[in-house]
Amino acid sequence: MIHTAYGNTGHFFVIVAFVSAMVATFAYFKSALSSTPLDEATSWKKFARLSFFLHAISVGVVVFCLYWIIGNHYFEYHYAWDNSSLSLPTGFVISSFWQDQEGSFLLWIFWNVVLGLILIFTNRSWEGPVMAIFALVQVFLASMVLGVVIPGLDLKIGSTPFLLLRESMPELPVWKTNPDFIPKDGNGLNPLLQNYWMVIHPPTLFLGFASTLIPFSFAMAGLWLKKTKEWIRPALPWALLSALILGVGILMGAYWAYETLNFGGYWNWDPVENTSFVPWLILVAAIHTMIIGRKNATALKTSFILSIATFVLILYSTFMTRSGVLGNASVHSFTDLGLSGQLLIYLMTFVVVSVGLLIYRWKDLPSDAEEVSTYSQEFWIFIGATLLCLSGFQILATTSIPVYNALAESFGMVLNLALPTDSIGHYNKFQLWFFALITILTGIGQFFWWKRTGEGRLHTLYPPLLITLLLSAIFITVGGVRSISYIVLLTAATFAIVANGTILLNIFRGNYKLSGGAVTHIGVALMLIGILFSSGYTNVVSLNNSGLMISRSEEFTQNDNKENKEHVTLWLNRPLQMGDYLLTWRDIRVEPRHIPEYIPKSWVEIIENDFHAVALRDIVVNDKTYYKSGDTLEIYPENFYYEIEYREPSGKVFTLFPRAQINPRMGLISSPDIQRKYNKDLYTYVSMVTNPNEEGQWSATEEFTVAMNDTFFVNDYVAILDNVVRTDKVDGITLGEGDAAVKALIRILDNGQEFVLTPSFVIKDRTVGRKAEVSNELGLRAQFQEIDPQTGQFTFAINTKQRDFIVMKALEKPLINILWLGTFVLIIGFLMATIRRFRDFLKNQKKELAQLPKVKKMKPQQVS
């Protein structure tokens, strides 16, 4: 049955949400206009609020409908079919909600509604102008998922997630024969996204995106109402919260990349990463100028510019990642939905409105009577904010290269510019210096801020400077840091920790609630140290140093034969020395859904195109029997884990399980496994495997007839028939009375290792059975063909195939835990600062409210 009701309801409420947002925009606009009489303004505001509530309810219904469609696997809908499947566990069904553009827009709309409602209930005095901006944003966002075609013009607005398959792919021939066709299963979620981080990273990131709207709206409202300073108090806590959430969102993405993708790092300077990082940098700069904006007019003006820039950059980032302009420049941009025109209008509208308003009001903004002193807190904070902006500008200038091409193209030119090949090197060479300076300024800025230093008192900076030089000298020697730029960054970060730590100790004695800034700065400095060591001193463990000449061609022999041999080939059960470790690939394992550990693949038979497997033996893990032989169990059919044993020189053994996902549509996707030690991570991933779902091609059968203790050659190995013995047990065959079985012991020698193959020959119920034995290590299959009692000779049938192997890479990331530690410190610092500024705002609001009755009394008199 086709469940048209949910789609129709959803689509209808998208339209309601769109229209109600428009009404709310207009009504809030009217309510905030100074030309509107006061009693009318109140009723406009009431009406606007009702419209926004209606909008909120509609958005709720839309989200519910889409979730219902996905959650109940209504595959007649394109969105459900495209993004989920029956085998998807519940947690990941949630994340298939935002896998496509439409769902992620909905998520954004949803967060805006939540934030809008909070503002309506907590901040009545700013409601009119702030919510007018909010509602306008909602109009644009809702239009992205509208999916309405304007008749006559043939203009499609937005892309709806509620399309049925037969509407989205009308060209499929199946509709002619069966218009009610519903696919049995969906496409499923991209396996890379089947990760718990992908359940919480997108909502966090989108909440971060959504929350940048709040400081922007307050800045706009401040300009509009000419409350050029007052807007900062309510906006600041939100700006801090926004920076916290956006920052956490970005870091979650980085951590996911580290854990799941195999490019070996947490940050790749990918355009998608950059376009969310730049607004964050600008937002942090805005926070700093807002803090001093009430005292300093230059900072106040800058606060307006930066609050606007943050939001506009979020829109620009949306445009870049969703319009298809990035093309092949990014690994993970969305596919083009034909929304680029709409996105451009959205972007340009807000650029024109906000910049226009700012220019219009510029002359009304205060200016400083006298020049700021070099010894003032404002000066140093301002320099810091400027550096943050320049750092953001550099990232943006490079990331926008595909946009330059598109721009040139629209003017009829061909630019053919491409992103720098060594993008990491390109960004790092700038950002390293920017961040070295920024971290130094965090220390100096705090000293000036807390009036610990100033004109004629610069000597107060000497003690932290001295401690820094001492500490960093130790770090540089112990850590073996040789590069000048790294030494500078390390010293700068150490200074930041020492200086901010000094401040922290002092404030803590007084009022710890004020120490958010110092804590955050320490977090940043710790993160930089972690990044410096883990990225700058990544050590490739898997060097191919087998000593074998792999190729005699010149490009191999040049450069001391060391040309980029960072991957090693491991053969099944063949130990290989790699750095300090002796590595052995032991087995392939699969992941059952209800057993806490991975189990060997040979224990089960995976049912094709399903998420079940049949147990080939009793499945016992940790002395607990989970399934009996022949039972069916649920597994993750795409996940294979390569059991790699690491033996340390001390004899300690640990095992890593890097994952390879075999997906029929995507081929092989590799995810690392990480051995975490306190001082470094050992990061291992497979870059190539023989497909575990395919048996491999066996060669044509070759027969060998040999006598006892004869030596023969199979596939370059020396084989010896050691013995043929009677046996009572043959796997998979029950022997009754009168049955008989023998097995041969064939010893095979290879590179100092011995393997024994034991094919059996069974006579059961007077018929002959032959139980072959396979060795994946050798790529051999031996079958006991015949026994000739006259000659005493035995015949074996041998097949050979490619031996199983994996190609893997291992890296060591030193001190990466300092990065994660810094992350937590940063989060705590931001939280402290946010709470402090919210308290400040609430206290002030109480004060204002206490004065309010007087105002109310006055106003009616004016009207009458």
Partner 1 sequence: MKKIHIFGIAVIAIAIAIIVSTAGDASTYVNFSQAEELAMNGSNGSIHVVGKLKKDQQGQILDMAYKPELDPNYFVFTLLDNNNREQKVVYRSPKPQDFEKSEQVVVIGRMEKDHFEAEKILLKCPSKYNNEKLETTEYQASKL
Q: Which is nearer to partner 1, 431 or 793 (CB)?
A: 431
Interface residue with partner 1, options 72, 551, 557, 602 (CB under 8 A): 551
Smallest gap, in angstroms, from Cβ of residue 334 to partner 1? 10
What x-and-dash track marks residues 654-683 binding partner 1 by CB under 8 A?
---------x-xxxxxx-------------
Residue corresponding to tokens 């939280």: 831
Residue 426 binding partner 1, by CB under 8 A? yes
**Do you know the residue count of the chain?**
864
Contacts of 83 (CB under 8 A, 6+ apart): 70, 96, 97, 99, 100, 103, 186, 187, 188, 189
CB of residue 630 vs partner 1: minimum separation in angstroms? 35
Asked if residue 341 binds partner 1 (CB under 8 A), the reply is no
């020395």: which residue's tokens?
Answer: 577
DSSP 810: E
Stretch that binds partner 1, among 325-333, 462-470, 471-479, 648-656 (CB under 8 A): 325-333
Beta carbon of residue 148, minimum distance to partner 1 (angstroms, whole number): 22
Our finding on whether 331 is near partner 1 (CB under 8 A) is yes
Closer of 398 and 817 to partner 1 (Cβ): 398
* Cβ distance to partner 1 smaller for residue 421 or 864: 421
Matching residue, tokens 């022999």: 557
Verify binding: residue 180, partner 1, rule CB under 8 A.
no
How far is the C-alpha of 104 from the C-alpha of 221, rounded, in Å?
Answer: 28
Q: What's the chain's Rg over C-alpha atoms?
A: 34
From residue 214, alpha-carbon distances to 352, 663, 694 in Å are: 18, 42, 55
> Considering the complex, what minimum distance in angstroms separates the CB of residue 687 from partner 1?
4
Stated as kind and residue range, the H or E segment containing 609 is: none
Query: Between 64 and 556, whose beta carbon lies closer to partner 1?
Result: 556
> How many C-alpha atoms does 257 have within 13 Å on its Cβ side?
18
650 contributes a contact to partner 1 by CB under 8 A: no
Question: Residue 129 is encoded by which pair of tokens?
Answer: 């102008």
Q: Which span sits near partner 1 by CB under 8 A: 322-330, 455-463, 632-640, 853-861?
A: 322-330
d(CA 154, CA 132): 31
> How far is Cα 840 from Cα 828, in angstroms, rounded to an integer?
18
Structure tokens at 237: 């806590």
Q: Which of 713, 644, 729, 735 is nearest to 682 (CA)?
A: 644
CB 497 within 8 A of CB 522: yes
Cβ distance to partner 1 smaller for residue 242 or 296: 296
Please check whether residue 461 is in contact with residue 421, taking contact to mean a CB–CB distance below 8 angstroms: no
Asked if residue 418 binds partner 1 (CB under 8 A), the reply is yes
Minimum gap (Å) between residue 401 Cβ and partner 1: 6
Residues in 788-817 at the binding interface with partner 1, rule: CB under 8 A: 805, 807, 809
| Helix pair 232-260, 271-293: axis angle to 10 deg | 150
Could you tell me which stretch among 137-145, 228-236, 547-555, 631-639 binds partner 1 (CB under 8 A)? Answer: 547-555
Q: In angstroms, what is the minimal distance from the CB of 368 to partner 1?
A: 9
Instruction: State the helix-helix crossing angle for 4-32 and 38-71, rounded to 10 degrees.
Output: 160
Within residues 262-301, the interface with partner 1 by CB under 8 A covers 263, 298
Binding mask 374-413 for partner 1 (x = CB under 8 A): x-----------x---x--xx--xx--x------------
Query: For partner 1, what does the binding mask look like between residues 686 and 705, x meaning CB under 8 A?
Result: -xx-----------------
- If one asks whether residue 174 binds partner 1 (CB under 8 A), the answer comes out as no
CB nearer to partner 1: pick between 162 and 209: 162
E-assigned strand segments in 42-104: none
Pair type for strands 753-757 and 680-689: unpaired
Binding-site size, partner 1 (CB under 8 A): 57
**Could you write out the DSSP letters of every residue in 139-189?**
HHHHHHT--EEETTTTEEES--TT-BHHHH-TT-THHHH-TT---SS----
Binding residue for partner 1 (CB under 8 A) from 34, 177, 335, 767? 335
- Binding residues for partner 1 (CB under 8 A): 82-83, 187, 190, 263, 298, 327-328, 330-331, 335-336, 371-372, 374, 386, 390, 393-394, 397-398, 401, 416-422, 426, 430, 540, 544, 550-551, 555-556, 562-569, 663, 665-670, 687-688, 805, 807, 809
